Structure 1
Amino acid sequence: MSDCGLTNDDLDDIRSCLEAAGVSTIVELLLDTNGLTALKPDVSGSSGTFDGMTSLEVLSLSANELTTLPADLFGSLTSLVSLFVDDNSDLTCLPDIPSR
């Protein structure tokens, strides 16, 4: 079980953090307070933003500047239990989240 937390503009280390923890073993990913305006497909090094993160249970994107989330964002997150998107004042809707 691995946790990966990147806050306060530490995004330069995201790829090394995900790879070091093992993408499929990360259970909690904290991307709070990074000024994110969009999530790009290469965050985890694959075609989908969180592809391969099959163990992810907690995803926090709080206190960023997100306005939209890609429609396929949550497709492979079959273990997701908690999603935090508070303090993204321009975010008005979420894509479908698969049921467990």
Structure 2
Amino acid sequence: MGLPPLHGFSDATDYYRRASSRYYLGQIQTPTLIIQSSDDPFVFPHSLPEPSELSSCTEFELHAKGGHVGFVDGSLRNPGYYLERRIPLWLSAAHQRENA
């Protein structure tokens, strides 16, 4: 990878360490839901955050299947989309917690 030194990074490892959002997850102060799948072809298991790296207002869901932003279930004739169901439920619960 030849571009990192041109932009102030010592090497690819330095680039990925400094560009990763992982190191900022503990500083999140707004209720946040992170949904990830174990079979994501772009996000490898070693790069997933540990619970100790998350702030107290961050929920992390790790699913066995879902691919890269897929989370499709059901069948070809009647597909379901997990994110379309999960996100409104989470937002509703977060709103209720905030107004309790």
Give me the TM-score of the superposition, normalised by structure 1.
Answer: 0.29
Higher helix share: 2
Structure (1 or 2) with the larger CA radius of gyration:
2
